[in-house]
Amino acid sequence: MNVPFEKVLEKKESYFKYLRLDKLPTIWCPGCGIGQALKATCMALYDLGIDNDQVAMVSGIGCSSRTPGYFDGFTLHTTHGRALAFATGLKLFKPELTTIVFTGDGDCFAIGGNHFIHAARRNIDVTVVMINNWIYGMTHGQVSPTTPLGSQTTTTPGGNYEPNFDVAELAKAAGATYVARGTAYHVTELKKLIQDGIKHKGFSFIEVLSPCTIIYGRKNRMTFEEMYMWLKENTIPVKAWEKLPEEKRAGKLPRGVLYHDDSRPEYTEVYWNRVKQLSGGEK
């Protein structure tokens, strides 16, 4: 910890080519997990050999949605909740662009919930990296659709009493064809999950459990270290999870690829094939 920023840049990691280094440091708080997800995404692109000029990154509004600003590709920071709708237009018109959406639990599942289920239903080839920090970080700690029962937020004094979404199940039910869960603690594993999501032709959803150290952590009396240790101790690789007896699953979450289906057709491919038949033409 506490490595000076200049020292980090000196390392000249291979994935730095995906960063707008002149825009660093980021706005994120010390210890925030969003940077880990950006790093994992850049490493994934590097290993896939996808050039900066082939990537569009779209986001909504929130701390997590600030990610595209630091990503050296074709980037669009849009309106709260609507990233997937913007991305749908972009991807449909330019299917050749690898399209990644960065979003948050509020952005994706409160205000953006409708766009999410419809993008998943269409099975459009977009990779969604959803930073689940269980709270509205940017607006300073209000309850979100993923806030656990009992957690402290600024709009649920005394603890959250609203049930939350199981977002992975929701994604699957809506039609996503690749669903994974990773954490900001397990960065190498997260990189692999995002990499497979990008490779997958169809709607990919990667939930990233990510500490909001400054807001969620402070409100719930968890230190930075405790939040990362929680991720380490309470998430279980999916293979081990499957063997776990029901009573030992309580309070824990599986991580890894939760669902993968390569059989369903991808939206833009279906659309442009129809166009070919009808017009025999290019756009």
Q: Which residues here bind another protein, judged by CB under 8 A?
A: 20, 23, 52-53, 56, 58, 68-69, 72-79, 82, 85-94, 96-97, 114-115, 118, 271, 274-275, 278-279, 281-283
- Minimum distance from residue 49 beta carbon to another protein (Å): 16
CB under 5 A: which stretch of 53-61, 96-104, 219-227, 254-262 binds Mg ion?
A: 96-104
> Quick one: 61 or 97, whose CB is closer to ligand TPP?
61
Q: Which of 42, 58, 63, 194 binds ligand SF4 (CB under 6 A)?
A: 63
Question: Interface with ligand SF4 includes 29 (CB under 6 A)?
Answer: yes
- Minimum distance from residue 209 beta carbon to ligand TPP (Å): 12
> Quick one: 127 or 213, whose CB is closer to ligand SF4?
213
Q: Can the peptide bond before residue 148 be classed as cis, meaning omega within 30 degrees of 0?
A: no
Enter the tokens of residue 117.
Answer: 């289920």
Q: What's the rounded Cα separation, in Å, for the pair 34 and 211?
A: 8
CB under 5 A: which stretch of 129-137, 155-163, 175-183, 238-246 binds Mg ion?
A: 129-137
Please state whether beta strands 253-260 and 178-183 pair in parallel, antiparallel, or not at all (unpaired): antiparallel
Enter the tokens of residue 247.
Answer: 């009573």
Q: What sign does the CA torsion over 219, 181, 126, 272 have?
A: negative
Q: What's the rounded Cα separation, in Å, for the pair 64 and 32?
A: 10
The listed partner (ligand TPP, another protein, ligand SF4, none) that binds 136, CB under 5 to 8 Å by sort, is: ligand TPP
Enter the tokens of residue 116.
Answer: 């999410």
Enter the tokens of residue 271.
Answer: 């659309």
The listed partner (Mg ion, another protein, ligand SF4, none) that binds 82, CB under 5 to 8 Å by sort, is: another protein
Q: What's the rounded Cα separation, in Å, for the pair 257 and 205?
A: 10
In the complex, which residues of this chain contact ligand TPP (CB under 6 A)? 61-64, 80, 104-107, 131, 133, 135-139, 144
